[in-house]
Amino acid sequence: MFRAIQITFGIAIVVFLLMPIFAILPLAFTSSVFLNYPIPAYSMRWMHELTTADVWRTSIVNSLIIGSGATVFATVLGTLASLGMRSGTLPMVGLLRTLFLLPMVVPAVVLGVGMQIFLVRLGLASTYLGVIIAHAVLCIPFVIVSVSAALQGIDPSIERAASSLGAPPVTVFRRVTLPLAIPGVVSGAIFAFATSLDEVVLTLFVAGPNQRTLARQMFSSIRENINPTVAAAALLLIIGTLCLGGLATLLRWRQKRSALETAPSAI
Amino acid sequence: MRPFIRFESVSKAFGSLTVVNALDLAIEKGEFVSLLGPSGSGKTTILMMLAGFERPTQGAIYLDGKRIDHLPPYRRQMGVVFQNYALFPHMSVAENVAFPLEMQRVPRAEITERVERALDMVKLKQLKDRRPSQLSGGQQQRIALTRALVFEPSVILMDEPLGALDKQLREHMQLEIRELHKRLGLTIVFVTHDQSEALTMSDRIAVFNAGRIEQIDVPQVIYDTPRTRFVAEFIGETNLIEAKVASVDNQVARLSLGAGLSARAHAGNGLSAGQTASFSLRPERIRLGASPEGSNALDMTITDCIYHGDHMRVQLTRDEFSLVARCERLAGNWTVGAPVVASFDPSDCTVLTQ
């Protein structure tokens, strides 16, 4: 009896969480011009619209440019920050870590306002670089969390061994630390890209009309001329996110397996 | 002769905690020296300072006459073997062994050849394409050793390298390391907390306690004539005897042991009549029954007898004075409660300074 309630409740929660997604997806293939049910007939009309209409196409390209830029920025900075916090030479590491992770919890609106003022001062408002920097700030915590976890799994005596065998610090990093941390770096980069991809609030504040991303375009199309292209865009985003999520899971699985392998077997 | 490795009043403190205290230590080329002590005695810190992972707070370290304590680890040319092997998990066995040679920019062809030869030496050539995770603990340790040897470092440092292995494999590896040391003429500094390991492997043992060397000497001297109470108790088993010195005559002290017993012991210098001192007497030096000419003979009673397979542990008492003796077998009429004469040579009763 209790078991049955548990199962029903579980299913209800899953349905509740996934319903919006399932509600919008079929509309990507409607032949009607309205974003509602019932669907009169299935067609690729809106998928076609998404890939040919200028606003949509540029927004997809923009998303990719800004996502890649922010990912590179965030991955490099986040990895360096994780290495620095691990080195053991920094004072107040705990405080630093909290500060670095702050963008995760600060309301995006607050960050957006601040970013806008800041970027205007720098003359970067409504530029690609500006949006990339703003997104990178939001992405860095994900990289730090992921890379720090990977670094924590590296036995410091492995690096010491490399050093005693004649490797200067840069070589130790290149030949030992980085190869062992790379799964963490890559999965951090994936999270960073996914974060940038669906970021709307910050983009509203810092992006000009030329940097309109896919998420931002969806947001405005809902208010301006509502039509099923937005459902097609949603489908695209979901597929993209699913791919990224799958990649991250795969990486984490491989990392876990190799961590098991490196544990010294007591034979 | 100038020592190969020299510590000159080296101290190391972590914050307010002094781990190594004004250490002087000299090691000759080709010597196998064990640093033996309980955990926290500073022995690993000394090894880490020698390897370059820690810097002395005070003092200087010399290698072959050159001061090295300011050099980073990668410029010291020392092979370090860690307790957990510290093999590179993302590289094959051959790549692990090749690593130090690559760092020295040895030509490709020569690297391949030297790696083959080194792996041949430890009989693991057939495993060269495996990852470390696919090897057993003993194999991993042998690869770690090979990797530390292959670039012909001036010194090999080992930090409890056999601690993670089971007893049988450990004893096998002890012999193997000893053999390598003899064959290649290596200078080895070996950290361990296992006294039997230190006794079987070393040319000399330095016994550490609380950041200081209590005694440094060849294994036999350390075992037979421990200088301090700590050494006597840490190495092997011993009877600690508190006794009053009745008289000293020609370096032989007459002791009153209590319970009306008296014995003679080699006093060395510094003992005078009337003082109280501690002595160490190894259980296996006590004979039961016979008392040869010139030995001490004590009338005792057997109060307990414990069977250990290859030997017996016999508890002897007389009033408040008691001894433990170790003997191979007991004569039939010696049972618990039986009186017995315990005898030992005066030279086996060693005076302790603390």
Q: pLDDT tens-digit profile of A145-164?
A: 999 999 998 998 999 999 99
pLDDT at residue B175 greater than cutoff 70 = yes
Chain B interface includes A262 (CB < 8 A): yes
CB of A65 within 8 A of CB of A203? Answer: no
Pick the CATH number of A53-259 from 3.30.1330.10, 2.60.40.1120, 1.10.3720.10, 3.40.50.300: 1.10.3720.10
Read off the pLDDT band of B98 (50, 70, 90). Answer: very high
Interface of B with A in 39-58 (CB under 8 A): 51-53
The CATH 2.40.50.100 portion of chain B extends over 237-352
Q: What is the mean pLDDT of residues B155-166?
A: 88
| CATH hierarchy code of domain B5-233 | 3.40.50.300
B337 touches chain A (CB under 8 A): no
B138 and A267 within 8 Å at the Cβ level: the answer is: yes
Question: What are the start and end residues of each CATH 3.40.50.300 domain in chain B?
Answer: 5-233
- Peptide bond before A38: cis, by omega within 30 degrees of 0? yes
Beta strands in chain B (DSSP E): 5-14, 17-27, 32-36, 58-63, 66-67, 78-81, 155-159, 188-192, 204-209, 212-217, 239-249, 252-258, 261-266, 276-281, 287-288, 296-307, 312-318, 321-327, 339-344, 349-352
* Domain limits, chain A: 53-259
Min Cα separation A171/chain B (Å): 9
Model confidence pLDDT, tens digit, residues A229-242: 888 888 888 888 88
Q: B285 and B279 in contact (C-beta within 8 Å)?
A: no
pLDDT at A191 over 60: yes
- pLDDT band of A178, cuts 50, 70, 90: very high
Question: What is the chain A residue with the closest CA to B73?
Answer: A164
- Banded pLDDT at B108 (limits 50, 70, 90): very high
Length of chain A: 267
* CB half-sphere exposure, A157, CA atoms < 13 A: 14
What architecture is domain B237-352? Beta Barrel (2.40)
pLDDT at residue B324 tops 70 = yes
Distance CA B283, CA B289 (A): 15
Using an 8 Å Cβ cutoff, are B26 and B206 in contact? no
The Cα A189–Cα B206 span in angstroms is 52
Report the C-alpha gap between B35 and B23 in whole angstroms.
12
Provide the ipTM.
0.81
Q: Which of A55-69, B238-252, B266-280 has the lowest mean pLDDT?
A: B266-280
Note the pLDDT tens digit of each residue in A102-129. Answer: 988 889 899 999 999 999 998 888 889 9
> Which residue, among B309, B92, B40, B45, has the nearest Cα to B189 in the 3D structure?
B45
Report the alpha-carbon distance of residue B97 to residue B106 in Å, rounded: 13
Region for B205 from its dihedrals, namely left if φ exceeds 0, alpha if ψ lies in -120 to 50, beta otherwise: beta
Ramachandran sector of residue B185 (left: φ over 0; alpha: ψ -120 to 50; beta: rest): left
Buried b (16+ CB within 10 A) or exposed e, A197-227: bbbbbbbbbbbeeebbbbbbbbbebeeeeeb
Q: What's the rounded Cα separation, in Å, for the pair B35 and B79? A: 17
- What is the rounded distance in angstroms from the CA atom of residue B63 to the CA atom of residue B45? 17
Which of A165, A175, A258 should be substituted to probe chain B, the one whose Cβ sees the most B Cβ atoms within 10 Å? A165
B29 neighbors B54 (Cβ within 8 angstroms):
no
Choose from B74, B91, B154 for mutation: most chain A CBs within 10 A.
Answer: B74
Model confidence, pTM: 0.79
B88 vs A contacts (CB less than 8 Å): 158, 161-162, 175-176
**Residues in contact with B59: Cβ distance below 8 Å, sequence separation at least 6, in sequence order:** B7, B8, B9, B10, B11, B22, B23, B69
